[in-house]
Amino acid sequence: MRRTRLLAGALFGILAGLAVAVFAGEQHPSALFLEYCAKCHGEDGRADTPKGRQLMARDFTDAEFQSSKTDAALIKQVTKGGEDMPPFGKKLSAAQIEGLVKNDVRGFAKKK
Ligand code: HEC
């Protein structure tokens, strides 16, 4: 009984990990994130960069932040920009922005 459940849990973990890897299609954070976002948000999503600290960008690994925003709200912010964040709606396609939010920004929450 116990063993079956453990096994099922392990299997599920592996499958979920694989699914994320396949869905993302590339490493996390993505090349796109590193190119356009890491300057402020940091390669680890913590915004622990000179620019990120100066502008007080959010720590994407913070669970409270993650649960307080919907994907739609985040996509809108990246598209239209925020108070101190530049808009990316003209530079990037809607699909790219959706990927950045769903894979990169959300991806920081699951780690550690
Ligand atoms: C020039 C620095 C800068 C760059 C470049 C930048 N951001 Fe931001 N970002 C910020 C700041 C500062 C905030 C804090 C909120 C604000 O300014 O409105 C923010 C907020 C966000 C938020 C929403 C946080 C919230 O509280 O709702 C998301 C999501 C986000 N950024 C994603 C990205 C993505 C994806 C990219 C790359 C395409 C990117 N950012 C590039 C500075 C930056």
Expressed in angstroms and rounded, the spacing between residue 97 Cα and the centre of ligand 1 is: 12
Q: Is the CB of 47 under 6 A from ligand 1?
A: no
**Residues whose CB is less than 8 angstroms from the CB of residue 99 and which lie 6 or more positions away in sequence, other chains included:** 24, 30, 32
Instruction: State which fold the 27-110 domain adopts.
Output: Cytochrome Bc1 Complex; Chain D, domain 2 (1.10.760)
Q: What is the pLDDT of residues 69-103, one digit of tens each?
A: 999 999 999 999 999 999 999 999 999 999 999 99
Expressed in angstroms and rounded, the spacing between residue 14 Cα and the centre of ligand 1 is: 31
How confident is the model at residue 27, as a pLDDT?
Answer: 81
Q: What is the pLDDT of residues 33-61, one digit of tens each?
A: 999 999 999 999 999 999 999 999 999 99
Q: Which residue has the higher pLDDT, 100 or 24?
A: 100
- Report which secondary-structure segment, H or E, holds 31: helix 31-36
DSSP state of 90: T
Residue with CA nearest ligand 1 atom 2: 40
How confident is the model at residue 65, as a pLDDT?
Answer: 95
Query: Whole-prediction pTM value?
Result: 0.81
Q: Which residue has the higher pLDDT, 3 or 40?
A: 40
Expressed in angstroms and rounded, the spacing between residue 37 Cα and the centre of ligand 1 is: 7
Q: Which residue has the higher pLDDT, 24 or 63?
A: 63
Q: Domain extents for the chain?
A: 27-110
C-alpha 5/C-alpha 17 separation (Å) is 18
